Amino acid sequence: MTKTAAIIGGGVIGGGWAARFLLNGWNVRVFDPDPSAEARLAAVLDNARHALPMLYDFALPDEGTLSLHSSIADAVNGADWVQESVSERLDLKHQVIAEVQAANPDALVGSSTSGFTPSQLQQGAADPSRIMVTHPFNPVYLLPLVELVPSPVTDPASVDRCKTWLTALGMYPLHVSKEIDAHIADRLLEAVWREALWLVNDDIATTEEIDNAIRYAFGLRWGQMGLFETYRIAGGEAGMRHFLGQFGPALKWPWTKLMDVPDLTDALIDKIAHQSDAQSGHLSIRELERTRDANLIAMMRALRQQDAASGALVNAHQQTIRQPLPDQVPLVSKNRVIPSDWTDVNGHMNEGRYGQIFSDAADAVLDHIGAGEDYIASGLSYFTVETGTKYLAESYAGERVQVQTRVTEGQGKKLRCVHRMIRAADGAVLATCDQLLIHVNLETRRSCEPDPGVADRLARLAARHASDGSLAE
């Protein structure tokens, strides 16, 4: 049964939440009284529809239904989850939560607040047990972290249900067990931000120099190992204890001003704004967002290959959205979006990636006949020995494509597939591939007869496909 989320506040964060839910198959109901809310929401959704599918090798679930509503009561009607994403004013959040619980007392309520504790949010609430902090990071549709902060009176079963739902959205619910202002991540960010303001204020560094110091060094390390694991490596074989012994005394040196912040005078604001304009003022916000999203996708896909950090989360989530192949002729062996890191200097999909997508299509066929991971673990597999690819039309990042596959030979040691890659939007044929695979024993690395069960399924599949006519163009 399709679940329903209500989003109260359709700005950058609320819109990101709406996109994350919607693109994972939830129905989404939005309330935002701002006349420009619909346009802002559309812009966020446009970015999300372009970006999120590029993370995965399979199609996301069919989108849920999006609707905009004129009142909070109408928006939360029938909602399983309500995500409050209004401005950081405690009185406003109290008002919103009161209206939500009056209209739908059964809904779980999460707040996107970056600073308030759940106990503060629960003050005066009709049912504080169903209220918690669920603080995400922008862009919500790509970045997986959600700081999940309950209070002592939050219902543990509600927390567990929230964890299950967030995980199913491909997110990482970080359960913060103890309330604290600004939670965990924002406190760390605030420390770096304060020091950066001092560096600009004291004319030590410009905004661009500070950004370069982060993105060319420790930002890359943090993106895949975090802080403590990075420093453990810095300690060498002796580990963290050695690192703390070697660098701990430096903590007493006056390197930072973390407990202070420069006055945001008009002069300092002008300096920061001028430097920021010089750094990236030539780009629109939409251009910066697309660049950010493309970079995040490329980095997260690289981490996917290593099954590490956020890449491991994407891999795990992908297995939950992967669907078995419908037993049809031809087989739709791949259904996905072309990611940005598959394109070349000409701006279209690199020819090597056609080999990737046709190889993935063949893997789907192997899974279909019972020659997937478990079969390989038993010591048997199929190796590709010959391919013939024709490139018929350009394909670009962000395009949804399908691969239609027909099995043209399936006797003995041989498996031959004819693949046709088409653009989903118009059915245009983009490329074809004739692929011959030979069954092998992984211990001897020589050809051998397949398992009888696999051989039987393959033969029956080839017989079904024989009457369908060629897919080759």
Q: What is the pLDDT of residue 472?
A: 43
Residues 6+ apart with CB under 8 A from 283: 291
At 40, list the tokens. 């802002």
The predicted model gives 92-97 an average pLDDT of 98
At 168-190, the pLDDT tens digits run 999 999 999 999 999 999 999 99
Phi-psi region of 183 (alpha: psi -120 to 50; beta: other; left: phi over 0): left
Confidence bin at 83 (pLDDT 50/70/90):
very high
Q: What is the pLDDT of residue 469?
A: 54
Q: What is the pLDDT of residue 309?
A: 93
The predicted model gives 131-152 an average pLDDT of 98
Whether 345 has a pLDDT exceeding 60, the answer reads yes
Q: Is 412 annotated as a binding residue?
A: no
Q: What is the pLDDT of residue 150?
A: 98
At 113-126, the pLDDT tens digits run 999 999 999 999 99
Q: What is the pLDDT of residue 63?
A: 97
CA 128/CA 121 separation, integer angstroms: 8
Q: What percent of the chain has pLDDT over 70?
A: 99
CA dist list (Å): 111 to 13, 15, 76, 130, 470: 11, 14, 14, 11, 55
Whether 95 has a pLDDT exceeding 70, the answer reads yes
Residue whose structure tokens are 């109260």? 8
Q: For the CA atoms of 48, 51, 57, 59, what is the dihedral angle to 10 degrees?
A: 30
Q: Is 15 annotated as a binding residue?
A: no
Q: Is 11 annotated as a binding residue?
A: yes
Whether 285 has a pLDDT exceeding 70, the answer reads yes
At 80, list the tokens. 């399983």
Q: What is the pLDDT of residue 48?
A: 97
The strand pairing partners of 82, in sequence order, are 6, 109
Confidence bin at 354 (pLDDT 50/70/90):
very high
Q: For the CA atoms of 67, 70, 76, 79, what is the dihedral angle to 10 degrees?
A: -10
CA 422/CA 407 separation, integer angstroms: 17
For the chain, how many residues are written? 473
At 357-383, the pLDDT tens digits run 999 999 999 999 999 999 999 999 999
Q: Is 10 annotated as a binding residue?
A: yes
The predicted model gives 158-165 an average pLDDT of 98
List of domains in the chain: 4-175 (3.40.50.720), 188-282 (1.10.1040.10), 325-466 (3.10.129.10)
Query: Which region among 199-213, 256-270, 285-299, 453-467 has the lowest average model confidence (pLDDT)?
Result: 256-270
At 96-115, the pLDDT tens digits run 999 999 999 999 999 999 99
Q: Is 16 annotated as a binding residue?
A: no
At 2-11, the pLDDT tens digits run 999 999 999 9
The predicted model gives 338-356 an average pLDDT of 95
Q: Is 170 annotated as a binding residue?
A: no
CA 454/CA 243 separation, integer angstroms: 55
Whether 24 has a pLDDT exceeding 80, the answer reads yes
Question: Three-state SS across the chain?
Answer: CCCEEEEECCCHHHHHHHHHHHCCCCEEEEECCCCCHHHHHHHHHHHHHHHHHHHCCCCCCCCCCEEEECCHHHHHCCCCEEEECCCCCHHHHHHHHHHHHHHCCCCEEEECCCCCCHHHHHCCCCCHHHEEEEEECCCCCCCCEEEEECCCCCCHHHHHHHHHHHHHCCCEEEECCCCCCCCCHHHHHHHHHHHHHHHHHCCCCCHHHHHHHHHHHHHHHHHHHCCHHHHHHHCHHHHHHHHHHHHHHHHHCCCCCCCCCCCCCHHHHHHHHHHHHHHHCCCCHHHHHHHHHHHHHHHHHHHHHCCCHHHHHHHHHHHHHCCCCCCCCCEEEEEEECCHHHECCCCCECHHHHHHHHHHHHHHHHHHCCCCHHHHHCCEEEEEEEEEEEECCCCCCCCEEEEEEEEEECCCCEEEEEEEEEECCCCCEEEEEEEEEEEEECCCCEECCCCHHHHHHHHHHHHHHHCCCCCCC
Q: What is the pLDDT of residue 131?
A: 98
At 217-276, the pLDDT tens digits run 999 999 999 999 998 888 888 888 888 888 888 878 888 877 788 898 999 999 999 999
The predicted model gives 12-41 an average pLDDT of 97
Q: What is the pLDDT of residue 257?
A: 79
At 411-454, the pLDDT tens digits run 999 999 999 999 999 999 999 999 999 999 999 999 999 999 99
Confidence bin at 457 (pLDDT 50/70/90):
very high
What is the overall mean pLDDT for the chain? 94
CA 436/CA 409 separation, integer angstroms: 9
CA 437/CA 164 separation, integer angstroms: 41
